[in-house]
Structure formats: structure tokens, C-alpha cells
Chains A and B, each alone.
Chain A
Amino acid sequence: METERKMMQAFHGDTAAKSQLLDRLRVYAEAGAIINADNVWKDGKGSPVGCVVESTDLGLWPQRTGMPKALGCALDHVAKNLGSPRNAGLFVVEWIDAVPVGENMCGVAHELIGWLLTDPEHGVLRLASTETARQSVCRVAEMHRRGAAGQAPAAADWAEVRGAILAVPAPGDKDRTQQWVMAAAESAAWNPETAATVIADTLRAWSLLGAARRAVAKPADSAQLTRDTQPQIPLPKAPAPDGLTKPGIDMNKLRDAFFAEMMRLAQLEHQKVAKAMLDFTRRSAAPAMDAR
């Protein structure tokens, strides 16, 4: 059983609404007010979604843009990882500019997830080394292929696939690559027409898969992996008592250099996602142009 695609039109078919939004975003971008963050709007600065809706209420995103929430969350997530407010601002303006007025952007959301899962160069599938993992990724990718064609499966079908993936025994701790392959498959098994965080969740698993792969080649990266797999922030502890021996290595410098390198790699990966998002968006205009 399939669901009928939600009727969404980018900018609600209003060219002037797109122009006004773009003008406003250009001002924010030039002022460095589009920051690298998720779901933020404070003191005239914010994440891409925050700057579009001038609030942290994601519910306003479809009202203002005529696009699914999942694309808004994806925009925040990608821009957050582009390294600087300048890069985030440039990307957001370029992407909004590329969105064709009146186009239903749900297909782009499905295509982007499909790309994350199956692209021969960057997709999750190339790293799936077990038959179960390959089948899980392919099954979810097929659902998104149908979604991109305007025939997204029903909610019960997505739930059934998620249940099947969750029922697979977890790969051992030594096989973190396969853990993140399965995590990407399970994260992606939602309909982006209705689930706001599906692209961002899939991107997170996709990034961690990249880190897991690097950790195999370079064990030092496993520290980053451990940090990212437990994405929580410890609350400050009481100060250490006086008289402890000072370590011979400047741990702060070492840590800063390590995280700078991790940030650089994450930035490179997310530049590829930003390009894919732009490509799918630009391509989405083509059939509509032909039809006219």
C-alpha cells in the first residue's frame, strides 16, 4: 500500500515569496548571522532554519517555504558541518536560490537519502560487508526510490522495515563499520514527507560510518568515534585538588589539534552532501520545465 504524496509546493508557488526570503537570507549571510548550528534562533542570529523562520519553531518551516520539515533539518545539519558561518551562509543562499518555485520537494528528500545509502562513491552500501547489512540498506533505498517517484510506501511498511532491521543481532563492538551501516539503514527507514529528522539522522549515521572507517585505518580516530556515539555533554565536575602532578604533554593542544582535524574531515564530507543536495534540487526543476 502506498501513500499519496503530501501536496507541497515550494514557496507555495509564489515567486515573490522566494525573492523576499532570498533577500533576507543574503542580508543574514553577509552579516555572518547564519551560524553553524541545529535549531537555533537567538539575538538575530541562527541556524539556517532559524534564519528562515526567525524562530526555533520548525513547524513554521513548511508554512514559510512549502517544503517538508526534513529538508529544513537537513539544511541545518549540513550547514552546521561546513566549518564557518561564511560557508553556511553561502550554501543556504545557493540552495534556496536553486529551489524551483512551485516544485514538490518531497522527491528531493527521498533522493538525498537514497544517495547517502547507495551512491557508489559515498554511499553506505559500499561499506556493507554482510548479506544482512546489504539487504537492509537496499530495502530502505528501494522505499526511497519509490518515494522519489511519488509513490512513498505507507507508514506501516516503513515500520515493518525498521522492526526487521532492529531485530537483526547487533554486530560486535569490534565491527563498528557494520554497526554504523545498520544504524544508517534504520535511521533512514522513515518517510521524509512526514518525519522531520530522517535526513539529519541518516547523515549523522553516515558521518559516523566515515569516522568508523577512518578509525580502522587510524586507531586514534576511535576517540572521536567514542565521543560521537555518545553525543552527550558531561556536566562540569568539582575542580581537582591541588598538588596533582602536571602531565608532561599539553593535553589541551593535543586535543585541539585532534578535533581540528576531525572538523576538517567532517567539513570535506559535508561539502559532498551539500553538492548532492544542490544537484538533486536543480535537477528537480527539469521535468517541470519540460512539461511547460
Chain B
Amino acid sequence: MSDAIKHVSEASFEADVIHHTVPILVDFWAEWCGPCKAMNPLLEEIAEEYAGRLTIAKVNADENKQLLATNNVRGIPAMILFKGGTEVARLVGATSKTRFVAFLEPHLVVAA
């Protein structure tokens, strides 16, 4: 797994996600989830291409069940985009790079 991706737990969620200064996309995944693994190369590529504008973080769903409940995650992979500590968008299920970028871009536009 690329170093460009941050691993987050229940203990670090507040500091790593809620107080994060740039938009952060949190991917809820599990070891046994095939679609989650299929998304990894895309998430790594996005982390590199959007470095400085977007942070990618991963939460292991099996090890952080409380975070599933607090974030209302009912299926994985679930990718939640936070800005300023608030959820602004969510994408559930594996998707293509085209759709993923189309999902992200409107939220990453820098105000003139």
C-alpha cells in the first residue's frame, strides 16, 4: 500500500479526519471485501494525482465498528468525503476512475 494513503482508527479519527485542514476522503474497507481491494490501485493513483488538494485515508471496517455506526456505513467499500470536519459527499461501491473523478472534482474546486 502506498505511503500516500493515511490509515485511520477510532482513536485517531478526530485528529486525522475531523480536524484535517484539506479535504479528506475516507475509504471504509475490509480484508475480505473484493471490491474494496479492486479500488486500491485507483485510490493510490488519486492520492498521488491530487496530493496537496486531497488526502486519502482508510478505515478498516472490522477493526473500527464504532466508526461504521457513527458514519452510518451499511456497505463497503464506502468512501466519504469530509471538508472542514463535515461530510460533504459519499460514494458507495466500486466505480471507474471517470466516475470517481467526476464525484470528487466539484468538491475540490478552489474559490477564486
Query: Is B92 on the interface with A (CB-CB < 8 A)?
Result: yes
Interface status of A270 (Cβ within 8 A of chain B): no
Q: How large is the interface on A (under 10, 10 to 19, 20 to 34, 35 or more residues)?
A: 20 to 34
Known pairs A234-B75, A235-B74; A198 contacts B97 (CB<8 A): yes
Using Cβ atoms and an 8 Å threshold, which residues of chain B touch A110? none
Contact B98 A190, beta carbon cutoff 8 Å: yes
Give Cα A201–Cα B75 distance, bound, in whole angstroms: 21
Are B92 and A58 in contact, CB atoms less than 8 angstroms apart?
A: no
Partner of B78 from the list A190, A196, A197, A232 (CB cut-off 8 Å) is A232
CA A227 to CA B98, docked complex, whole Å: 20
Q: A233 interface residue, CB < 8 Å from B?
A: yes
Q: State the CA gap A58–B44 with chains docked (Å).
A: 9
B93 within 8 A of A: yes
Please state if B34 and A38 are interface contacts (CB–CB under 8 Å): yes
For this complex, into which size category does the number of interface residues on chain B fall? 20 to 34
Interface pair B98/A162, CB less than 8 Å apart: yes
User: In the complex, what's the smallest C-beta–C-beta distance from A51 to chain B, in angstroms?
Assistant: 15
Per-residue interface assignment for chain A, residues 53 to 79, with 1 indicating a CB less than 8 Å from any chain B CB and 0 otherwise: 000111100000000010001000100
- A189 closest partner in B (C-beta): B98
* Alpha-carbon distance A201/B34, docked complex (angstroms): 15
Contact A58 B96 (CB under 8 A): no
Q: Mark A138-159, 1 if CB is under 8 A from B, else 0.
A: 0000000000000000000000
Alpha-carbon distance between A73 and B97 when the two chains are bound, in angstroms: 13
Q: Which residues of A contact B99 (CB under 8 A)?
A: 186
Judge if B15 is at the interface, Cβ distance under 8 Å.
no
Question: Smallest CB–CB gap between A154 and chain B, Å?
Answer: 16
Nearest residue (CB) in B for A73 is B41
The residue from B40, B97, B102 contacting A190, defined by CB atoms under 8 A apart: B97
By Cβ-Cβ distance, the 6 closest A-B pairs, closest first, are: A232-B93, A201-B96, A38-B38, A232-B75, A187-B96, A231-B94
